[in-house]
Amino acid sequence: MSFVEYGDTIKDGDTAIVFLGHESMFPVKVQHGTVTQTKYGVIRHSADLIGKKYGSKVTCSKGGWVFILHPTPELWTMNLPHRTQILYSTDISIITMMLELKPGSIVCESGTGSGSLSHALIRTVAPTGHLYTVEFHQQRAEKAREEFREHGVEHLVTVTNQDVCKNGFGVSNIADAVFLDIPSPWEAIGHAKAALKAEGGRICSFSPCIEQVQRTCLAMEEYGFTEINTLEILLRVYNVRTISLQIPDLGKAAEDNSSTGFDSSNPSNQGSLCTNLQQGTVQFKSGVPLREMVGHTGYLTFATKS
């Protein structure tokens, strides 16, 4: 099993996603002789998982059923164990695009954290690229190495436990892109510039506070970066529902059926047409934003090494 290469069959030692619904799923490590409890009953790994195809519908002991999915970076982001605050797919997608990443790219990242962005970066640069990720916290760095090994991507990533603000990324003049998610990114801009290739490399800094953004932009300008710009990605969801509005009086006869949007020749529509005309309203489908939406997560500041 690998997060960058799809496999058809569930094997012993794989990490799989147990899917109960869009709002209910969790990861499980498949092992011989192990069982997993769900609200629909027990899943027996040896009998119910190993040897089955990913995407299979598995019946639990109480008669309910779940789907077993192959892990992807997006599914892992939704289900990973949180060691730190993480980046979600909304921000990850724009980071991948704005850093112009592709298979074969060399990327430097700090800090590793829970590995949400790391898995997405690895999948993007595979099979010939590489991720150099730096984590200040020793236990988090060791846990990240363990996860990358279990997920079959250890050959695409190098995890270093050190302070990037003091010691840098451990590489020079090879990176196509650098990503910073640390409390004081302005202290690492010089090391980021040293890690980037001679010309045209891209950098991104994620910061939750605008004061951090201001100091980072000043540091980028000081070190000669160009095309400095800051984005904030907000997700706004719309519901599609039926809306009733009054028909405006434009001086037309009530018999004019064209303004109603109904086919009056269809007998099934004639009753509702008469009702709408009598009430002076017309119904149509409309997209309406939710009353509440996901708020601020952080600012993304991008720049180019000139």
Q: Which domains does the chain have, with CATH numbers?
A: 9-71 (3.10.330.20), 75-234+295-305 (3.40.50.150)
CA 305/CA 176 separation, integer angstroms: 10
What was the pLDDT predicted at 25?
A: 95
pLDDT of residue 269: 55
DSSP assignment, residue 228?
E
* Residues linked to residue 241 through DSSP beta bridges, in sequence order: 286
- For residue 252, what pLDDT is reported? 56
Query: Rounded to whole angstroms, how far apart are CA atoms 49 and 16?
Result: 9
Cis peptide, bond prior to residue 248, ω within 30 of zero: no
Mean pLDDT, contiguous 10-residue spans, the chain (306 residues) = 90 95 93 93 94 95 93 95 94 97 97 96 97 97 96 96 96 97 97 95 97 98 97 90 82 54 54 54 87 86 96
Q: What is the pLDDT of residue 243?
A: 85
Residue list for the binding site for S-adenosyl-L-methionine: 114-117, 135, 163, 181
Q: Which residues contact 291 (CB under 8 A, 6 or more apart)?
A: none
pLDDT of residue 27: 96
Cite the annotated binding site by residue number. 114-117, 135, 163, 181
Please identify which residue in the block is written with the tokens 């040897």.
51
- pLDDT value for 192: 97
- Integer Cα distance of 250 and 82 in angstroms: 60
| Residue 217 backbone phi and psi in degrees, to 5 | -65, -40
Give pLDDT, residue 121. 98
In this predicted structure, what is the pLDDT of residue 291? 83
How far apart (Å, rounded) are the C-alpha atoms in residues 197 and 186? 19
Q: Which of 96, 95, 304, 109 is nearest to 200 (CA)?
A: 304
Global pTM value? 0.84
Between 89-98 and 116-125, two packed helices, what is the crossing angle to 10 degrees?
40
Tokens of 296: 């601020």
